[in-house]
Amino acid sequence: MLLLIIFLTGLFTVLGATLLAALADLRGLKIPNIYSLIIIVAFAVSYGLLWTFGREDVFSSLLSHFLSAFIVFLVTLIMFALKGLGAGDSKLATACALWSGLSGLFVFLFYMTLAGGLLGLSALIIRKTKPFKAPAEGSWVAQVQAGQSKVPYGVAILCGVLASFIKLGYLGPEVLSSFLLS
């Protein structure tokens, strides 16, 4: 039961930190580094404790998780260099990819990209129609209505994390009940 609590604490810490990062991104297009750090520490603690107590079956191999994060880091670094993504977005996506491992990476990237595309489309519509009368100063909506081309990619990253957690079964009955049976 203790391992289930550790696992769920790690999962909800990641989801909570990613949600807060997405909200910060919406408010001012900035993602504080602390959210990425929290996600990395939550992975290290969860993976380490589960591995120590014989539940290495919950996650993929450590190499798989590191490779997933490395791939996302390289891709987002290139996007950052091309000014297509912010540094906070890159760090957050890399930290979240650590949780997905290679087995959840495609789903993470697919849904993150899909949500990012929808946010981009929304930005174009908002910029053209200016539907909000008094958006909060400095917010994404205010910046887009002022003519800037910006997307709060933290929101897209949150969508990717949720999709990968569902695909990996982290929140499913099979994984969760396995803790009660061991």
Q: What is the 3-state secondary structure (H, E, C) of 28-71?
A: HCCCCHHHHHHHHHHHHHHHHHHHHCCCCCCCCCHHHHHHHHHH
pLDDT the model gives residue 87: 95
Residue type, 128: K
Cα separation of 65 and 40, whole Å?
Answer: 11
**Closest to 88 measured CA to CA, from 37, 132, 41, 141:** 37
pLDDT the model gives residue 170: 94
The domain ranges of the chain are 2-181
Cα separation of 71 and 112, whole Å?
Answer: 15
Walk along the chain (182 residues) and give the pLDDT tens digit of each residue: 899 999 999 999 999 999 999 999 999 999 999 999 999 999 999 999 999 999 989 999 999 999 999 999 999 999 999 998 999 999 999 999 999 999 999 999 999 999 999 999 999 999 999 999 999 999 999 999 999 989 999 999 999 999 999 999 998 999 988 888 76
pLDDT the model gives residue 141: 94
pLDDT the model gives residue 182: 67
Name the percent of the chain lying above pLDDT 70: 99
pTM of the entire structure?
Answer: 0.94
pLDDT the model gives residue 92: 98
Cα separation of 8 and 51, whole Å?
Answer: 15
